[in-house]
Amino acid sequence: MRRHLDTASFRDGFVGMLPACVGLAPFGVVCGVGAAAAGADLAAAMGMSTIIFSGAAQILAAQLYAAGAPLAIIVLTCFVLGLRLLMYSAAMAPHLKPLSPAWQRTLAFLLTDQAFAAAIRRFNATDDPRDGASFFLGTGVALWAMWQATNLAGFLAGNLIPAAWSLDFAVPLCFIALIAPLMRNAPNVVAALVAGVAVLALAALPMRLNLVVAGIAGILAGTLAEIARERWKAR
């Protein structure tokens, strides 16, 4: 694996990801604070950031765990949230096909929203899969290292921040920063509206099932809205 590592491409990926790392640092801190608030110890908090390595899934898991939801519901809800990774995996697959299984397994572990966006651009711009893979590895390593450092900082600072600062509000704000830019696309607006209304309307469902049911309702609504829009345009 090492002999395929093109250090110039790796460096491009690593350095190119640094501005995004600065932007995502508060989200990492918020995830560390969230783990502390859910009652995780240091090992579990770092287990979440190193093994799950997905901010939204970490926050969701921590919140459902703190609310006493059963294991099966936590796993199901996080699984539905993680389904978007299938989309990234499918889009990345043709570019990673020429690489060895070791490369494929390593890069798959580092596949996140941000690494995907940066690496897919590089793969589309180059004919050399090794250049793209080394670049991808650089972005992934930069993100992973930043994520561990900021999660650790958040976990350690979590207990020191006064409750009057309402810092828990930073959690929904981080997600709003991810969702709001998607609202330029009408079916996404439909998906978000249906999910948002459904999660409140179904709040009486036991075991926090309202989250996953509302999420699936939103996904179906967005898909139907897209199909309806296509039919409308085709007329």
Partner 1 sequence: MEGALKLWAVILIVGALNYASRLSFIAIFARREMPPLLARALRYVPAAMLTALVVPMVVAHAGMPDPTHPRVPAALLAVAVAFVTRSTLWTLAAGMGALWALQALGR
- Cα separation of the two ends of the chain: 53
21 to 40, contacts with partner 1 by CB under 8 A? Answer: 22-24, 26-27, 38-40
User: Residue 40 corresponds to which amino acid?
Assistant: A
Asked if residues 31 and 55 have their Cβ atoms less than 8 Å apart, the reply is yes
Binding window for partner 1 (CB under 8 A); candidates: 1-9, 122-130, 148-156, 180-188: 180-188
Determine if 214 is a binding residue for partner 1 (CB under 8 A).
yes
Q: How far is the CB of 74 from partner 1 (least distance, A)?
A: 5
Determine if 78 is a binding residue for partner 1 (CB under 8 A).
yes
Determine if 105 is a binding residue for partner 1 (CB under 8 A).
yes
Q: What's the per-residue H, E or C state across 69-88?
A: CCHHHHHHHHHHHHCHHHHH
Listed in sequence order, the residues at least 6 apart from 179 whose beta carbon sits closer than 8 Å to its beta carbon are 192
Determine if 133 is a binding residue for partner 1 (CB under 8 A).
no
Specify the residue, 11 or 47, whose C-beta has the smaller distance to partner 1.
47
Determine if 60 is a binding residue for partner 1 (CB under 8 A).
yes
Total interface residues for partner 1 by CB under 8 A: 96
Q: How far is the CB of 106 from partner 1 (least distance, A)?
A: 11
CA 65/CA 112 separation, integer angstroms: 23
Q: Cβ–Cβ contacts within 10 Å for residue 100, how many? A: 12
